[in-house]
A and B are shown apart, each in its own frame.
Chain A
């Protein structure tokens, strides 16, 4: 049985007649790095605010760490978040910012604060006021603040926005470390899909407030793998022909479409065999995509329907 740390059921948030989130049902596995993918205004932040109890759902429910909304009880303290702003006091050092938030939970000593500072790589910040930090340092401090209560779930809304490539890589490494070493489940949104694809184990695609697809990175990897797209008049007959050629990994696509995975060469042989066996070939092409292409394709399909 899958161990879900967060499960939402038909979660909706309406602002007047506008549906920012409409009936979103997701299941996020414990220990996963879940990427929320969607364009600006798709409803990612609204969804995150609801699960962080900053915003109340119009309808639907969710279960966090085994406790149901609105009676989240101790589960509230098991979630750390960085939503929109890092939420830092500019006139305080990183240490004091963490000390301040640590007071909320109690039992946060100097050692723990320094440990978190080390995890996010802010050791060199010293007594420098957070207001003078670079954007990357502020984001890292935001993550550190989210970590102070020993959360089981970390909710990060666009944590790598505006960072330079080195900063992005640092944040990615930090998050991977937190996930691997501490088993923290991470829910992250970003527009930089290339980065998400290096990090996430699961994805949820949101568009116009609705969850249009949930997929694991393994499945996404398979879907994005290069393949040969074959458009024929008779897919059953074509499959037999492909079988005789020793091609086993064939999946059905849209009507009349076959996808031959893991084989991007030998198109001439395939066409020749099809012609010999009287299978009409309408189209044969090499295909392949990345997360961005996958997302854009999916949005395109969604719009057409």
Chain B
């Protein structure tokens, strides 16, 4: 396990996409801040220009880049055949997967740090700095956000190793993180269910919807639901990935 972890950390450091994605995350915050600063909005649609508001806008856009990175990172061993060099050597194939997830967890933490730092800089440069900022609330927000990101990485890991390619997982992830699935699938189903007298929102069980909807001032109930969704994704998709890795050959 330690050998795998060490290998994955080394590969992460050597990948150009590692740094490119971090730059894109930073650019996301900058872009959303510039739009908020220089565009004209109707009074009812004024963007939240507080530090946390900038952070949330940046998160929604960064989600796309981070999930693309997840697919690229996880799929690289499959694409270049490196998995065949290593998978037979390890005692448990799951240790191969877990080390990748740990590395992605570290990378996600770094991504959130970049996002926070970028938001702070933009808030200071373009707006009122950290006026009205509540550290405790923000830390709670970040903790839940982090859990959701780990849930997303577990889901993406399952997709990549179950489908054994990167194209389909990339498309699915992009559709989920861009909100396309919400508009095209979730909303019509919710409307139909509503007409049938059933109240159900997919946003409760979707990790990406939770990532996009999470606010610093979200209620404790919303935070709890988000935590439950994140934890459920981590457990369910890691169990499924383990089944896939144990049963399926490395082709």
- Residues on A close to B: CB < 8 A? 49, 52-56, 73, 76-77, 79, 81, 83-92, 96, 99-101, 103-106, 145-146, 149
Q: Contacts A91-B16, A100-B14 known; A83 to B84 CB distance under 8 Å? A: yes
Contacts of B249 in A (CB 8 A): 49, 54-56
B85 CB → nearest A CB, Å: 4
Q: Contacts A54-B250, A56-B249 known; A84 to B88 CB distance under 8 Å? A: no
Q: Does B191 contact A (CB under 8 A)?
A: no
* Docked-complex contact A87 and B82, CB < 8 angstroms: yes
B111 CB → nearest A CB, Å: 20
* Docked-complex contact B14 and A81, CB < 8 angstroms: no
- Closest Cβ neighbor of A97 among chain B residues: B82
* Docked-complex contact B88 and A76, CB < 8 angstroms: yes
* One of B2, B14, B87 near A92 (C-beta < 8 A): B14
A42 CB → nearest B CB, Å: 17
Most buried by B among A55, A89, A105: A89
Contacts of A146 in B (CB 8 A): 85
Question: In B10-43, which residues have CB < 8 Å from any A CB?
Answer: 10-11, 14-16
* Docked-complex contact B81 and A99, CB < 8 angstroms: no
* Docked-complex contact B84 and A81, CB < 8 angstroms: yes
Question: In B95-134, which residues have CB < 8 Å from any A CB?
Answer: none
In the bound complex, CA of A79 to CA of B83 (Å): 15
Q: How many B residues touch the partner, as a band?
A: 20 to 34
A146 CB → nearest B CB, Å: 7
* One of A73, A85, A100 near B81 (C-beta < 8 A): A85
In the bound complex, CA of A55 to CA of B251 (Å): 8
Known A52-B88, A89-B76, A104-B3; 13 more pairs at CB < 8 Å: A52-B84, A79-B89, A81-B84, A84-B81, A87-B81, A88-B80, A91-B14, A91-B15, A92-B14, A99-B10, A103-B6, A104-B6, A106-B3
* One of A49, A88, A90, A101 near B86 (C-beta < 8 A): A101
Q: Contacts A54-B249, A103-B6 known; A76 to B86 CB distance under 8 Å? A: no
- Closest Cβ neighbor of A73 among chain B residues: B91
A171 CB → nearest B CB, Å: 18
In the bound complex, CA of A101 to CA of B89 (Å): 11
* Docked-complex contact A54 and B84, CB < 8 angstroms: yes
Q: Mark B52-94, 1 if CB is under 8 A from A, else 0.
A: 0000000000000000000000001000111111111111000
Q: Does B178 contact A (CB under 8 A)?
A: no
Contacts of A55 in B (CB 8 A): 249-251
Contacts of A52 in B (CB 8 A): 84, 88
- Closest Cβ neighbor of A79 among chain B residues: B88
Q: Does B7 contact A (CB under 8 A)?
A: yes
Contacts of B11 in A (CB 8 A): 89, 100
Contacts of B3 in A (CB 8 A): 103-106
- Closest Cβ neighbor of B4 among chain A residues: A104
Please, could you name 30 A-B residue pairs with CB atoms under 8 Å apart, sorted by A?
A52-B84, A54-B88, A54-B250, A55-B250, A56-B249, A77-B89, A81-B84, A81-B88, A83-B81, A84-B81, A87-B80, A87-B85, A88-B80, A89-B82, A90-B80, A91-B14, A91-B15, A96-B14, A100-B11, A100-B14, A101-B85, A101-B86, A103-B10, A104-B3, A104-B4, A104-B6, A104-B7, A104-B86, A104-B90, A105-B3
* One of B6, B7, B90, B251 near A76 (C-beta < 8 A): B90
Contacts of A49 in B (CB 8 A): 249-250
In the bound complex, CA of A101 to CA of B7 (Å): 6
Contacts of B6 in A (CB 8 A): 103-104, 106
- Closest Cβ neighbor of A145 among chain B residues: B85
Contacts of B76 in A (CB 8 A): 89
In the bound complex, CA of A84 to CA of B80 (Å): 10
Contacts of B82 in A (CB 8 A): 87-89
Contacts of B80 in A (CB 8 A): 85, 87-90
A101 CB → nearest B CB, Å: 6
In the bound complex, CA of A146 to CA of B2 (Å): 20
Contacts of A56 in B (CB 8 A): 249
In the bound complex, CA of A136 to CA of B7 (Å): 25
* Docked-complex contact A149 and B89, CB < 8 angstroms: yes
